[in-house]
Amino acid sequence: MKKSIPDRERLIFALDVADAAAARKLVERLGDAVQFYKIGLELFMGGEYFPLLDWLVARDKRVFVDLKFFDVPATVGAAVRQLRNRGVTFTTVHGNQSIMEAAAEAKGDVKVLGVTVLTSLDRGDLDDLGFKCEVEQLVLSRARRALEAGCDGVVSSGLEAQLLRQHIDARLLVITPGIRPVENRPSDDQKRVVSVEQALGYGADYIVVGRPIRDATDPKAAAELIQGQIATARRAAT
């Protein structure tokens, strides 16, 4: 199944800054280089989260509310319902089948993404958490369960995107964080990372990029460089 996604919307910029004022300044600096923004917990705790969301939507930006809802099913459903009819494209949910089902039932015009395995986790971390299966097995299991629950897609490392495409229904949206256009730095907390070209080649529909753009000397130029890499990868795939 071929999805109709404009190439320049495949880049989702993780707007991980301390407050709404810093976020607006960075969005204005990026201009038309970025069409899709992810706003997460740091901004939520910084205040003005929903005014910022509305500000982005008013500027024709697409918005990914990444709050990884995890609570009793009724509470998760009620939280997801609050996002309806306000221009939100994606939101994320953690948890078991009943939690994902509650989110999917409440989603309305919002697409719900199940989180598989965070890209900051590796085999050792899964052992610490009590998971005895391999990362790939866990990702496949959670993706299947997300689709069965009525979710629209998953958040997954690009390392597992190819596996998802081989074994899961093509309707599944795959959003891939942990993208590193250059070599990963030792201080980086992302462990399971891939390049732009690898992620798209493996089957990701969207890529999420944060620090490589935010911390660049020229964030707009960095975003445009990644947009160019996306265009090249997409041409190679057709």
Structure confidence by residue, pLDDT tens digits, 142-191: 899 999 999 999 998 888 888 899 888 888 999 999 887 654 444 444 44
Write down the number of H helices and E strands in the chain: 11, 8
Structure confidence by residue, pLDDT tens digits, 52-86: 999 999 999 999 999 999 999 999 999 999 999 99
Residues with Cβ < 8 Å from 144, sequence gap 6 or more?
Answer: 168
Structure confidence by residue, pLDDT tens digits, 19-33: 999 999 999 999 999
Instruction: Please give the pLDDT value at position 179.
Output: 84
List 25, 38, 61, 68, catalytic entry: 68
**What global pTM score does this model have?**
0.89
Which domains does the chain possess?
7-237 (3.20.20.70)
Angle between helices 97-106 and 73-81 (to 10 degrees): 30
Instruction: Please give the pLDDT value at position 162.
Output: 86
The count of residues in the chain is 238
68 part of the active site = yes
Instruction: Please give the pLDDT value at position 2.
Output: 61
**11 pLDDT exceeds 90?**
yes
Instruction: Please give the pLDDT value at position 4.
Output: 87
Question: Smallest Cα–Cα separation from 176: which of 197, 186, 188, 161?
Answer: 161
Is 197 within 8 Å of 179 (Cβ atoms)? no
Instruction: Please give the pLDDT value at position 84.
Output: 98
Structure confidence by residue, pLDDT tens digits, 80-134: 999 999 999 999 998 889 999 999 999 999 999 998 865 555 555 555 545 555 6
**How open is the CA angle 68-74-78, to the nearest 5 degrees?**
65
Instruction: Please give the pLDDT value at position 159.
Output: 82
Instruction: Please give the pLDDT value at position 114.
Output: 94
